[in-house]
Structure 1
Amino acid sequence: MTEKTISEKAEAIYRSAIVCDLTLPWSSGPPDGRAKALNDVAEAGINFISLTMGTDFSTTHDTLRLIAAERARTAASGNLVFVETVEDIADARRSGRLAVGFHFQGAGPLANDVELIPVFYALGVRHMILAYNQRNRFCDGCFEVNDGGLSRLGMRAVDELNRVGMILDCSHLSYHSSMQIIDRSSAPVMFSHSNADAVLPSFRNIKDDQIVACAEKGGLIGVCGAGKFLTASQESTVEGLADHIDHIAGLVGDSNVALGLDAVYYPEVFYRLYAERRDAYPADVPPPPWNYFDQGELRHLPDVLLARGYSDESIVGILGGNFLRLASRVWKPVDDAWPTGKY
């Protein structure tokens, strides 16, 4: 934690915002660290956190068990609110509790069956990445050499995700996959945790035309705090976040910027998974240890953005308001997720 002071104005802005973090890796982490991880999120002043409940490496069975465990945790806790609607996030903020939502980083839990999408939507999954770095039956990930984009199955998934109201997330996808999803989707999409390739070239960061296409569709880009995708020094800093925010805002306006910090409470497990899945990462990805963003540092972001000329309103939007606007536009009532006249 830095020793920098926080100005009264920055503190007031932070307190007035509904602070949303769109990405906290979860499914691979040890269960005994989860309660502390959620407490750390709340202590950082974050109001809504979205947990990764499944990846391309997850089975349907394991995903359902994890969802059951986390739904039980929120139900039993007096400090957590499970999120199904945007109003749930606002209610949690008013009552001083942490709002908890779910997402997938990869389509593994679907087992190639798009008819499971409404099931997972009903269980609380509110945004989904179709592939994690590599190719699967839905589309190509950002590490593929030959970028084939969406498959026919992927197209069906896009249509079904649109129908139920789950946000399509293009982080970790290949260039063509993301651009084809943006073009096909009838709803705005997002990159939940992606940075600007123009600021730091990386297989995981996105090109300017991806940013523009996403914004033109009404979507947003969540800036990622993982050091290896944030700064040339691989440090995870507030200033690094601001550099990517500046670039994206300069292209499409700050109303299309959000936060997907991608903090990791179990780095040692991540390092082991990296060693086991080397084929999922390019050779130029630096070996561990890696730097992840300290969520407690997020309170310093308003001061950094104020110094760069951002208005109070813009900062509140970046901290969470922009995401809430997108969710209000895309999320649908759970009862409407079930297909009619099919069974």
Structure 2
Amino acid sequence: MKMNSMALASTLLFSVITVAEEHMVDEMLASPGASRTDFEMKPRPTEEKEFPAYIDYLVEVAEPRSEAERAKDAELQKRYRKAIVMDSLFVGAPGFPAGFSAELYETAIQHSIDNKFNFISATITNGPPEDTPEVVKERMAGVNQYWKERDDRYVQVFGLDDIEKARKSGKLAVMHNFQSMMPLGAEGNEEEAIANLREYHKLGLRQLNFTYNIDTPYADGGVSNSDGTDQGVHGPGEAVVKEANKLGIVVDCSHSSNQTCIEAAAMTRKPMILSHSNLMTYQPIDRNVSDQAVKAVAATGGVICVNFIGGFLNPQGLARPYDIAKHVQYIRNLVGPEALCHGSDYVYNYADTLLWILRNPKNFPVEMGYATPSHMGKPGEVWGVVRELEDTYGWTEAEIRGFLGENLLRVYKANWE
């Protein structure tokens, strides 16, 4: 699929920052006076008895910024108070993941509200074997009821009008996403998958990933990026893409293999997304994506949303604002500022989720950076990133507004209208 003229022009226009210039900025920000943090990269344990102490350490080192640093965000939030702020990947709903309690969910939501978010795309499943179609449908129905009973706080998103309705009423727009197609049917039967997809759509599914790292009947996952086995999208996955385009479900290829992203971009007739992915260029792990995958997604008119997890940003596990902005700027140079957004990927019940991850190494490979010492940035870290984009890279107000939410909204609009 050819890159559209706007994306091509932007690629040429924004390739002015050279690799040498980026290295110079890196050296400046790594100096003793810069705001950086280092911590011990302890090896991930495999014995259950070692998990509690290790989890305590990971929680201890997770914060990327101090409260004093975050206090400076107020000025930016005021300046961009009329901007739409959208999180393309907020992990969790009451009961998911790892027994996410309603109380903790409300704490998480309040963080997003306090940080001026208008919209979150919330993961309701990432496709573990126990998430059968019956289980996921029941969970979605339960969360839908939860949101409905709290309509003074939430507006569930079924279409564009709901996002605008939420903004006008000062409420938070909330939407379901899946991080795997496996809940469509674990065997990859096309007829079953399409029937389930239609039911999920009625329940509010509006964003759908192929797979959560592993190879499935629908597509190959990130685990196949470096072992020579990457076969991209499989037959059932292609059928799901076609139906998703018809229904108005945004196709997402984070966690998938690079070839899956490239092939999906050729299949889709609507803009697609990488909802929470970072670059192999700066952190060469299979969880991340290649330049070719980034270009393919952008060529659909789609967007690439960076996440705020240090282990996916660099080998040091750092997620300071500059570490995140560095990925954003690189993508801008590849495909232009209109192809950028952010998906925090933060898990609020972090300790419980770490235990789940450590007990399921197949789905959360250590080689991909899971459950390793790392900063874990909450959604509000986006304001530190905005400051870096303005101060270090000279982004304009219009470009920042695109990054905060307008670019992602454009993709949703193209899929839902």
| TM value normalised by structure 2 | 0.76
Worse-matched range after superposition: 257-266 or 295-304: 295-304
Give the distance between the partners of 1:76 and 1:267, measured in 2 at CA: 27
Give the distance between the partners of 2:119 and 2:74, measured in 1 at CA: 23
Q: Is the 8 A contact 1:104 1:129 kept in 2?
A: yes
2:252 to 145, 169, 178: 169
Give the distance between the partners of 2:404 and 2:88, measured in 1 at CA: 11
Aligned counterpart, 1:230: 313
Which whole-Å deviations, capped at 9, do the CAs of 1:169-202 have from their partners, x for residues lacking one? 0100011111111111111111000012112222
Aligned counterpart, 2:141: 68
Q: Does 2:379 correspond to 1:295?
A: yes
Q: Does 2:166 correspond to 1:92?
A: yes
Aligned counterpart, 2:109: 38
Give the distance between the partners of 1:153 and 1:91, measured in 2 at CA: 36
Secondary structure class of the residue paired with 1:222: strand
1:133 to 213, 216, 219: 213
Give the distance between the partners of 1:319 and 1:235, measured in 2 at CA: 22
Give the distance between the partners of 2:371 and 2:73, measured in 1 at CA: 37
Deviation at 1:65, TM superposition (A): 1.9
**Residues 37 and 283 of structure 1: CA distance in aligned 2, closer, same or farther (over 3 Å):** closer
**Residues 310 and 108 of structure 1: CA distance in aligned 2, closer, same or farther (over 3 Å):** same
Q: Percent identity?
A: 27
Q: Is the 8 A contact 1:13 1:315 kept in 2?
A: no
Q: Is the 8 A contact 2:217 2:237 kept in 1?
A: yes
- Residue identity matched to 1:323: L
* Rg larger for: 2
Secondary structure class of the residue paired with 2:80: helix
Which whole-Å deviations, capped at 9, do the CAs of 1:249-303 have from their partners, x for residues lacking one? 0111110001111011111222122222212344433644543112333333332
Deviation at 1:3, TM superposition (A): 1.5
- Residue identity matched to 1:231: N
Give the distance between the partners of 1:243 and 1:265, measured in 2 at CA: 25
Give the distance between the partners of 1:180 and 1:150, measured in 2 at CA: 6
Which consecutive unaligned segments of at least 5 residues does structure 2 have?
1-65
Give the distance between the partners of 1:153 and 1:311, measured in 2 at CA: 43
Aligned counterpart, 1:338: none
Q: Is the 8 A contact 1:271 1:289 kept in 2?
A: no
Aligned counterpart, 1:341: none
Q: How does 1:41-190 map to 2 (within 5 A)?
A: 41-57=112-128, 58-77=131-150, 78-111=152-185, 112=188, 113-144=193-224, 145=227, 146-190=229-273
Equivalent pairs counted in the alignment come to 332
Which consecutive unaligned segments of at least 5 residues does structure 1 have?
333-343
Aligned counterpart, 1:339: none
Worse-matched range after superposition: 287-296 or 217-226: 287-296
Worse-matched range after superposition: 32-41 or 247-256: 32-41
Q: Does 2:398 correspond to 1:313?
A: yes
**Residues 119 and 270 of structure 1: CA distance in aligned 2, closer, same or farther (over 3 Å):** same
Which whole-Å deviations, capped at 9, do the CAs of 1:134-185 have from their partners, x for residues lacking one? 0111111011331121211111111111111111001000111111111111
Worse-matched range after superposition: 68-77 or 166-175: 68-77
Give the distance between the partners of 1:104 and 1:234, measured in 2 at CA: 26
**Residues 274 and 96 of structure 1: CA distance in aligned 2, closer, same or farther (over 3 Å):** same
Secondary structure class of the residue paired with 1:172: coil
Q: Is the 8 A contact 2:259 2:293 kept in 1?
A: no
Secondary structure class of the residue paired with 1:239: helix
- Residue identity matched to 2:253: C
Secondary structure class of the residue paired with 2:120: strand
